[in-house]
Structure 1
């Protein structure tokens, strides 16, 4: 039986040989990427990697090591791919200057809605246009009716607004800003009404979700409406003391309603994250958040590889969300937010690796976050 000192000495000698061979392998990888660039080839070659794995597994004599060998080979190829990505020439990003003067901004809802408030907070007093549906805002931006759009993307207590995640990908716009807004929900009623008079309320589905405890405690029926402020307007026009709305205090003032119960949201830290969308990529010097969307090869470890790249570059991942991929059952588009700025070489290197390690990759934006 060998003693520990002898075993360690043998391992040191093997490691030295592994390092020599590793450097030799990476030198060949450098030649490979040069060839791929010259011939317009992708770095990731799925069939070639399968071939390499199977060829090397066939060489293994100790079959008890097969899984370990497979991991060893896969990790080697991942490292090689990352190295090749670092050698790929970066396509210069086309970055536009932010516009804040003489612009028109679109939002969903009516004056008094939370989207309207987010628009005012982010842009100040600016020419704005309201639209009935979220998709109408995207359509207006596509048709050049507006310069920017403001839509909600996620609520701290009820989660993502899935439609808007889908529209970002569908319309291929960029996220150029973020405005967080504290959402205080109120029970509104016509003049002279009391809480006990109200039997039914109207509000956006998010508003109903965010106040579900209060409504259930008071046995009030819930009815969906396309927007909180539009619901307030509807209740004002209906002029029925048994019908109320869940909306903002600003909506109550605008449409002449009483606040029957203020601050009835389930979560007192209730915030909504609104994004500003534009037709061009903007990356101001004080931008601190990067958003991206990508699809993955439908195979073991593909998402782990993305997480590894972010970790290895010491970048903080702030959020990950997945949405079903239309036409591809049980496959998903992933949305990831990381901290960083496109002026940082380390961030650019990470993005280059991510492009290589994903099936389809799209940079959604680098932007400043307000109201955080």
Structure 2
């Protein structure tokens, strides 16, 4: 058995050789990226990586070290890619002005939270309302509107998955975000009391956000197209035994009483609305970046993306997964990070992230607002 002192001396000698070879390898990696950039070649090639890893693993004499060798070679290649990404020229993104005489569409009716979010972002404008989320996307695709306003996430009930899926399906971009406080109120016709209400109508999110109140008062919830449309419906029905869960603005618009105020489960209830457009719009005030990507269905694939974000000292604000059509148990990943595309470290991080993904699409770099 070797003594500890001898082992340490041998490791030190081996490390000296490894560092010399590492330095030499990194210099060659620089030569590779320089050549590829000069000849407009594809920078990173996944198939080539797999060949290199397997070729080196096959050189092992002690096959019990195979898994460790794979990790060693992969980590070395990751360092090379990170170093190579520093030689890729950075872009300069010019600021985009908001269109003149623009039209905005939203899902719902006047008095809805989407309508409120639209006015918070664009000011007191008359938008065009549509019954369903996809109607807004279709209107944008046809050129009927220039911007769409849609809910993407609620602080208490989570993601609104339909809009994540539609965002990818239609290939549009996020150009703004408006977060608004959501106070859900129980509305009824004039003179109705809490004891009168047996059934309520609202959007599924409204029902989820007020589930504790409804259960406590034994009120049956019924899903409706949206909160303001539910208020309009009970106003027209004039039945004191049915109510709606909607905003105070909807109560004013449809001449209803607020029977119980702020009945949401979470009193800090907020909904994040996105402003979508057909093209990128990037402004100096942009502070959030959204992207969607896919990775190999294998151990550590998503970790590599998260590692890049961490190593570039970027805050990851959110990650959401959605099923990949026709590929069971595989997913799109929607990732939000803080930053602006004109920041050098952000651009370098995004260049590196692309090397670990199968597909990658930048959804937008935009300003976040709260009201």
- The TM-score with structure 2 as length reference comes to 0.94
For 2:171 and 2:322, the matched residues in 1 are separated by 16
Show the counterpart of 1:241. 240
Show the counterpart of 2:72. 72
For 2:208 and 2:262, the matched residues in 1 are separated by 14
Structure 2 matches for 1:1-372, cutoff 5 A?
A: 4-37=4-37, 41-89=41-89, 92=91, 95=94, 97-99=96-98, 101-371=100-370
RMSD: 1.9
For 1:95 and 1:354, the matched residues in 2 are separated by 23
Shift of 1:219: 1.3
Shift of 1:67: 2.1
Shift of 1:329: 1.5
**Paired residue secondary structure (1:153):** strand
**Paired residue secondary structure (2:332):** strand
- The TM-score with structure 1 as length reference comes to 0.94
For 2:211 and 2:20, the matched residues in 1 are separated by 64
For 1:258 and 1:357, the matched residues in 2 are separated by 55
For 1:102 and 1:335, the matched residues in 2 are separated by 32
Shift of 1:20: 1.5
Q: Which sits farther off after the overlay, 258-267 or 40-49?
A: 40-49
**Paired residue secondary structure (2:355):** helix
The unaligned stretches of length 5 or more in structure 2 are none
For 2:132 and 2:151, the matched residues in 1 are separated by 12
For 2:199 and 2:191, the matched residues in 1 are separated by 16
Q: Structure 1, residues 321-356: CA drift from partner, whole Å, max 9, x if none?
A: 000111222111100000111111000000111122
**Paired residue secondary structure (1:188):** strand
For 2:254 and 2:65, the matched residues in 1 are separated by 73
Is contact 1:43–1:85 with CA below 8 Å preserved after alignment? no
For 2:50 and 2:18, the matched residues in 1 are separated by 23
Is contact 2:93–2:282 with CA below 8 Å preserved after alignment? no
**Paired residue secondary structure (1:195):** coil
For 1:215 and 1:229, the matched residues in 2 are separated by 18
For 2:7 and 2:259, the matched residues in 1 are separated by 79
Shift of 1:364: 0.9
Is contact 1:174–1:281 with CA below 8 Å preserved after alignment? yes
For 1:46 and 1:103, the matched residues in 2 are separated by 43
Shift of 1:295: 0.9
**Paired residue secondary structure (2:28):** helix
Shift of 1:35: 4.7
For 1:358 and 1:38, the matched residues in 2 are separated by 24
Shift of 1:137: 1.1
For 1:40 and 1:325, the matched residues in 2 are separated by 31
**Count of residue correspondences:** 371
Shift of 1:7: 4.0
For 1:242 and 1:307, the matched residues in 2 are separated by 52
Q: Structure 1, residues 214-256: CA drift from partner, whole Å, max 9, x if none?
A: 1111111111111100000000001101111000011001001
Is contact 1:103–1:127 with CA below 8 Å preserved after alignment? no
For 1:272 and 1:243, the matched residues in 2 are separated by 26
Shift of 1:36: 4.1
Is contact 2:309–2:315 with CA below 8 Å preserved after alignment? yes
**Paired residue secondary structure (1:321):** strand
